Amino acid sequence: MPNAYISGTGFYVPPRVVTNDQLREEYGIDTTDEWIRQRTGIEERRFADEGNAPSDLAVHASKMALENAELTNKDIDLIVFATLSPDFAFPGSGVILQRKLGMCDEGHFPPALDVRNQCSGFLYSLATATSMVQSGAMKNVLVIGAEVQSAALDLSSRGRGVAALFGDGAGAVIVSATDEDRGVRHFQLGADGRHADVLSQKVWDTSKRPFIPQNADGVGQVQPEMMWAQMQGKLVFKHAIERMIGVMMQTFSAQGLTLDDVDLFAFHQANLRINQYIQKSIGAPEEKFLHNIQKYGNTTAATIPILLAEAEQTGQLTRGKKVCCVAFGSGFTWGAAIIDW
């Protein structure tokens, strides 16, 4: 059975920087830079300009990953696209990315699937790609996490509890087959649907007829509590800490590892305070933890692949290092993976 390793990484963030002060000054949100930093660690985030979809950001990240892996479009056997902010309700963003990468023009039509596991989406996608490669069914899988969340944020004082958290961006990895002793060693996934409503965005409800309410002229109208993301922050914080520590320790146990065996921790970037709390609770050295939420905010499915790509670009992540990736998100869903780089 071949091993599945990450042969290339890539990332892209839009050029437009939106600081905490700009949320107040440009959007009129009743907040302050100090309030946001103290609670989340976020200093700024990136917003894509109108006309840019997650697939557009994913094109840039995918091309970088392909170049770093020294592969071409025709080497890709499968596309796995993780996002909570897809281009459309349907079709999935994976097939749109296939087209935008030029694969169709080259006569190359690999299968494409979307993963809708929000902040855990990248790890669910990585697990899918790893399984495909280890089974021998695929040799190279393009895995993307990409989000354009700024289009669906309530950028007003009413929505400040959520709006300040999120940003746009894309990260990509190529999962490839190898006979070398390296790659994704173990992954662990979990979910608890009892808390599905705690962090959700129910912009449409297919149990209703019609699924979006209409006025007398047949124009769809969505109430604010349906249109915008809703979150019970304190409950999410509590469960995030419990589940992330739990799934990480399960993964360590399965591999017979200790904290000392891990060179880098790439945690989902939802809240810097969550990750700092976990770091201190488990007694791991601060310098082993990768952080970029300060400059990008929570890019949901893109946080971990962006972290990995940046760390490789700066030389923090090099061949032979052992990486622990952990995520928690809406659903609730969570996951962890151990990777020998």
Pairing of strands 3-12, 169-178: antiparallel
Average pLDDT estimate for 49-63? 98
Give residue 204's pLDDT.
86
Is 36 a residue whose pLDDT tops 90? yes
Give residue 224's pLDDT.
87
Give residue 339's pLDDT.
98
Long-range contacts, stretch 18-27, CB < 8 angstroms, 24+ apart: 18/44, 18/45, 18/46, 18/47, 18/167, 19/43, 19/44, 20/44, 20/164, 23/155, 23/160, 23/163, 23/164, 27/155, 27/156, 27/163
CATH code reported for the domain at 184-196+229-340? 3.40.47.10
Q: How confident is the model at residue 225 (pLDDT cuts 50, 70, 90)?
A: confident
First to last CA, the chain: 18
Catalytic residue annotation? 119, 268, 298
Please give the radius of gyration of the chain, using alpha carbons only, rounded to the nearest integer. 20
Does the bond joining 213 to the residue before it have cis omega, within 30 degrees of 0? no
Give residue 25's pLDDT.
96
Q: Which CATH superfamily is domain 3-181 in?
A: Thiolase/Chalcone synthase (3.40.47.10)
Q: Is 145 in contact with 179 (CB distance < 8 Å)?
A: no
Give residue 238's pLDDT.
94
User: What are the structural domain ranges in the chain?
Assistant: 3-181, 184-196+229-340
Whether this prediction's pTM lies above 0.95 is answered by yes
Amino acid identity of residue 169, one-letter, is G
Give the closest residue to 45 by CA, choosing from 169, 147, 157: 169
Q: How confident is the model at residue 194 (pLDDT cuts 50, 70, 90)?
A: very high
Query: Which segments of the chain does DSSP mark as H helices, in order?
Result: 20-25, 33-40, 54-69, 93-100, 121-135, 160-163, 224-227, 233-255, 272-282, 293-296, 303-314
Amino acid identity of residue 129, one-letter, is A
Give the closest residue to 302 by CA, choosing from 285, 327, 284, 324: 327
How many other β-carbons are positioned within 10 Å of the β-carbon of residue 284? Answer: 17
Return the C-alpha torsion angle 122, 97, 169, 150, nearest 10. -110
Pairing of strands 112-115, 140-147: unpaired
pLDDT above 70: percentage of residues in the chain: 100
Q: How far is CA 59 from the centre of its chain?
A: 16
Average pLDDT estimate for 313-335? 97
Dump pLDDT digits (tens) for 250-290.
999 999 999 999 999 999 999 999 999 999 999 999 999 99
Average pLDDT estimate for 130-152? 98
Is 7 a residue whose pLDDT tops 90? yes
Average pLDDT estimate for 193-199? 94
Average pLDDT estimate for 295-305? 98
Q: Among 103-107, 207-211, 287-291, name the one with the lowest average pLDDT.
A: 207-211
Average pLDDT estimate for 119-133? 98
CA angle (55 as vertex; 230, 308 as ends), nearest 5: 80
Q: How confident is the model at residue 12 (pLDDT cuts 50, 70, 90)?
A: very high
How many other β-carbons are positioned within 10 Å of the β-carbon of residue 138? Answer: 20
Give residue 172's pLDDT.
99
